[in-house]
């Protein structure tokens, strides 16, 4: 019984011997602990108090200007065999990675507090949940992990019971981009991160554990760890369908998860329930359906663009008890970003706002907030069994070619649609923005193993006993000749989800095309929406020549995963190309 805690304590002891902190603090997740941390951070300048009248319990954190996003070029998957990491990952031999990291961690916590954070990803009592312990010298990380995970005593008790956990070691280091690495050791169930205090680089429960390590584990255990939102759509009859959707970073997951129905739908009795906005763990249940949990307990959402017109739910959610990172502030000390009314006076770096310096809020500025504060938070999000998934949706930012929505004819075709996903890059990772790149299942930065094996794993769910969800592909981002988005998006996306549900329930027949099934004439409900008929036609157009080129490009892309590319996926690409 005590042996697990012994091994945890031994690890903590070993880490302390290497990093040499002044003190060690075991986090219990209590309110008192949180309040104390906040006070310390206000004193040290890690947090800045925002207007407590308008935003009670809200604080601002300014990260180092060179540390504002995930760093994919410094993120490594360290498997024994290089081939197992795949061409989709940067790889380093475990021994080399350990040597590099040990040198960086040596004495790095001198004079500082080392925090030990036991956490659980997923409801504490769910068989789908998994635990980890993150050791960090960043109080900001502790405060964020408290919101984003089930952190503290209950997680520690589960770790003690289960006897295993993912080991995460993080230090902010010198914040020198030259001395920054995010290392994953899936075979050791461990993560080491040095030199960044930002989001996915530092909150190790999130992308590092819940996606990179978990996807690796999920493959051997027969489940899926995906970069997906989970949303429940309740129709006027009171029936709820749960939909899981994978869009790349900053491509609309949080927005879709918190969607507010257009007026007509609201009046008719449609409701939307938020289960998750970024990560989804799914496993087949006894009835053959896929059941999903959200391993997170909070939202680490993109601030810019969040407004009363785009996402009023998010705005309500973040009205109190929220940590803002890299947003601007107004004259009366309220958080501000592009898309909000009012004017910024101080930019995300703390400088007087000057439009010559670019946006006032960093394009990847974020809010961290408990999911419980979301007005549409689903009671089912705490359900240990998870929610049954009726449809899986893939999508990305595609200014042309990809229609508003299409449905895969079967699971294999759906896996191809996911594998073929492409999107324009965004500010969520460092590097150029607006460049088209393939991002299979929105997992390019997060799949902890070879994409070829990952595609095989996806295909393996197609068993006679399975009752798999239908698979769709959407594109909210198609542009017209004037460069403007053709589709209004946001709440109006419910119209597209309604069509998907009608397909799931076999209530509409759709129109078959070589690339998949599209809404037939009149099947998309557009009442109350001022969408010109030509715009709809453009949104649903299938450009044969364009698709030939696209399918050729998809074929080339798939080739890059040979020899591990499953033959079934190659055949499917050829089938569609010849359709
Ligand atoms: P990560 O947290 O990085 O994984 O991002 P996300 O996928 O949750 O993206 P999010 O919902 O935060 O949206 C990112 C950006 O896309 C914001 O600027 C939104 O305003 C914009 N966006 C979201 N949904 C839509 C849509 O339906 N149409 C258009 N045009 N823009 C959208
Ligand atoms: C993403 O980039 O997909 C995010 C933010 O959700 S981060 O936690 O930094 O990965
Ligand atoms: Mn994300």
Testing ligand 1's pocket by substitution, the residue of 254, 394, 434 carrying the most ligand atoms inside 8 A of its CB is 254
How much is the average pLDDT of 372-398? 98
Cα 204 to chain centroid distance, Å, stands at 13
- For tokens 């309740």, the residue is 234
70 in contact with ligand 2, CB cutoff 6 A: yes
Q: Average of pLDDT values for 323-334?
A: 98
Instruction: Work out whether the CA dihedral 343, 348, 353, 356 comes out positive or negative.
Output: negative
Give the residue, by CA position, lying nearest to ligand 2 atom 10. Answer: 200
Contact 426, 249 (CB under 8 A): yes
- Other CB atoms within 10 Å distance of the CB of residue 95: 10
Cβ burial, residue 296 (10 Å; 0-12/13-18/19+): buried
Number of helices (H), then strands (E), belonging to the chain: the values are: 17, 30
Q: Which of 78, 120, 251, 374 is catalytic?
A: 251
Mean pLDDT throughout 523-550? Answer: 96
Candidate of 300, 301, 441, 444 to mutate for ligand 2, largest count of ligand atoms within 8 Å of Cβ: 300
Convert the pLDDT of each residue in 170-208 to its tens digit: 999 999 999 999 999 999 999 999 999 999 999 999 999
How many other C-beta atoms can be found within 10 angstroms of the C-beta atom of residue 353?
19
| Structure tokens belonging to residue 135 | 């050791």
Residue whose CB lies within 8 A of the most ligand 2 atoms, among 147, 199, 445, for a mutation test: 199
Question: Between the CA of residue 80 and those of 36, 84, 95, 210, 358, what are the distances in Å?
Answer: 42, 8, 9, 21, 44
Instruction: Determine whether 186 is exposed, middle or buried from the number of CB atoms within 10 Å of its CB (0-12, 13-18, 19+).
Output: buried
Nearest to 133 by CA among 292, 22, 24: 24
Q: Does 251 participate in catalysis according to the annotation?
A: yes
Q: Whose CA is nearest to atom 7 of ligand 2?
A: 200
* Residue 281: strand pairing partners: 225, 293
Tokens read off for 224: 């899926």
Q: What is the pLDDT of residues 469-478, one digit of tens each?
A: 999 999 999 9
pLDDT over 60 (residue 417): yes
Question: 67: helix, coil or strand?
Answer: coil
In this predicted structure, what is the pLDDT of residue 445? 98
Q: How many angstroms separate the first and last alpha carbons of the chain?
A: 60
| CB of residue 363 inside a 6 A radius of ligand 2 | no
Check residue 276 and give left, alpha or beta (phi > 0: left; psi -120 to 50: alpha).
Answer: beta
Which residues, including other chains, have CB under 8 Å from residue 502's CB and lie 6 or more apart? 508, 523
- For atom 32 of ligand 1, the residue with the nearest CA is 252
Contact call for residues 469 and 410 (beta carbons, < 8 A) = no
Exposed, middle or buried, 268 (CB in 10 Å: 0-12/13-18/19+)? Answer: exposed
| Average pLDDT rounded to a whole number, residues 449-460 | 98
- Per residue in 91-127, pLDDT (tens digit) is 999 999 999 999 999 999 999 999 999 999 999 999 9
Please list, in sequence order, all residues whose beta carbon lies within 8 angstroms of the beta carbon of residue 86, skipping any fewer than 6 positions away.
Answer: 447, 449, 450, 451, 452, 453, 454, 561, 564
Give the pLDDT band of residue 2 (cuts 50, 70, 90).
low
In the predicted model, what is the mean pLDDT of residues 23-44? 98
SS3 404: coil
Tell me what the mean pLDDT of segment 406-415 comes to. 98
d(CA 216, CA 209): 10
Q: Which letter, b or e, does each residue of 35-48 get, where b requires 16 or more Cβ atoms within 10 Å of its Cβ?
A: eebbeebeeeebbb
Give the tokens for residue 230.
């989970």
- What pLDDT is stored for residue 6 in this prediction? 86
Q: Give residue for tokens 């005590």.
A: 2
User: What pLDDT band is residue 4 in, cutting at 50, 70 and 90?
Assistant: low
Please state whether the predicted TM-score (pTM) of the whole model is above 0.95. Answer: yes
Exposed (0-12), middle (13-18) or buried (19+): which is 174, by Cβ within 10 Å? middle
Q: Are 205 and 236 contacting, i.e. CB atoms less than 8 angstroms apart?
A: no
Confidence of residue 278 (pLDDT cuts 50, 70, 90): very high
- What percentage of the chain exceeds 70 in pLDDT? 99
429 alpha carbon to ligand 2 midpoint, in Å?
A: 8
Q: Average pLDDT of 547-553? A: 96
What is the rounded average pLDDT of the residues 412-431?
A: 94
Which residues on neighbouring strands pair with residue 392, listed in sequence order?
Answer: 244, 471
Residue 63 pLDDT exceeds 60: yes
Q: Is residue 1 over pLDDT 60?
A: no
Is the beta carbon of 364 within 6 A of some atom in ligand 1? no
Q: Which residues contact 30 (CB under 8 A, 6 or more apart)?
A: 152
In the predicted model, what is the mean pLDDT of the chain?
Answer: 97
Centroid of ligand 2 to alpha carbon of 296 (angstroms): 13
Residue nearest to atom 8 of ligand 2 (CA): 200
Contacting residues for 66 by C-beta, under 8 A, at least 6 apart = 175, 177
For residue 18, is pLDDT > 90? yes
């Amino acid at each position: 019984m005590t042996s697990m805690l012994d091994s945890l304590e031994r690890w903590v002891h070993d880490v302390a011997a290497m990093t040499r902190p002044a003190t060690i603090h075991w986090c219990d997740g209590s309110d008192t602990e949180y309040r104390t941390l906040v006070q310390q951070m206000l004193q040290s300048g890690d947090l800045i108090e925002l207007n407590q009248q308008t935003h009670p319990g809200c604080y601002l954190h300014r990260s180092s200007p060179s540390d504002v996003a995930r760093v994919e070029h410094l993120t490594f998957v360290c498997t024994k065999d290089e081939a197992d990491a795949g061409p989709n990952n940067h790889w380093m031999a475990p021994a080399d990675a350990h040597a590099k990291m040990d040198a960086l961690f040596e004495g790095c916590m001198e004079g500082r507090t080392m925090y030990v954070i036991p956490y659980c990803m997923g409801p504490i009592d769910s068989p789908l949940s998994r635990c980890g312990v993150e050791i960090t010298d960043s109080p900001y990380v502790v405060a964020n992990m408290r919101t984003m995970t089930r952190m503290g005593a209950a997680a520690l008790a589960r770790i003690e019971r289960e006897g295993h956990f993912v080991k995460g070691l993080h230090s902010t280091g010198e914040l020198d981009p030259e001395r920054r690495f995010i290392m994953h050791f899936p075979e050791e169930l461990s993560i080491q991160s040095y030199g960044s205090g930002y989001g996915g680089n530092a909150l190790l429960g999130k992308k590092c554990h819940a996606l990179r390590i978990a996807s690796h584990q999920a493959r051997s255990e027969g489940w899926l760890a995906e970069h997906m939102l989970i949303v429940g759509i309740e129709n006027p009859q009171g029936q709820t369908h749960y939909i899981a959707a994978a869009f790349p970073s900053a491509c609309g997951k949080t927005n879709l998860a918190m969607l507010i129905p257009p007026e007509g739908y609201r009046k008719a009795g449609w409701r939307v329930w938020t289960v998750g906005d970024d990560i989804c763990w799914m496993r087949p249940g006894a009835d053959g359906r896929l059941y999903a949990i959200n391993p997170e307990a909070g939202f680490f959402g993109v601030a810019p663009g969040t407004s009363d017109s785009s996402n009023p739910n998010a705005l309500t959610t973040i009205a109190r008890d929220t940590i803002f990172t890299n947003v601007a502030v107004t004259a009366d000390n309220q958080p501000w970003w592009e898309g909000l009314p009012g004017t910024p006076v101080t930019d995300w770096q703390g400088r007087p706002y000057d439009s010559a310096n670019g946006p006032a809020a960093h394009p990847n500025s974020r809010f961290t907030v408990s999911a419980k504060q979301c007005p549409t938070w689903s009671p089912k999000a705490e359900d240990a069994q998870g929610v049954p998934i009726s449809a899986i949706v893939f999508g990305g930012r595609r200014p042309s070619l990809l229609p508003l929505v299409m449905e895969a004819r079967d699971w294999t075709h759906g896996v191809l649609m996911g594998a073929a996903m492409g999107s324009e890059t965004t500010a969520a990772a460092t590097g150029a923005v607006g460049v088209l790149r393939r991002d299979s299942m929105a997992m390019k930065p997060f799949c902890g193993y070879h994409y070829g094996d990952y595609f095989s794993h996806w295909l393996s769910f197609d068993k006679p006993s399975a009752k798999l969800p239908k698979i769709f592909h959407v594109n909210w981002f198609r542009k017209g000749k004037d460069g403007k988005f053709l589709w209004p998006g946001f709440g109006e996306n419910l119209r597209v989800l309604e069509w998907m549900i009608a397909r799931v329930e076999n209530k509409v027949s759709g129109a078959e095309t070589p690339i998949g099934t599209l809404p037939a004439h009149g099947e998309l409900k557009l009442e109350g929406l001022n969408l010109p008929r030509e715009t709809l036609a453009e949104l649903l157009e299938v450009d044969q020549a364009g698709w030939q080129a696209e399918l050729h490009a998809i074929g080339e892309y798939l080739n890059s995963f040979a020899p591990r590319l499953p033959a079934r996926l190659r055949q499917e690409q050829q089938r569609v190309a010849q359709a």
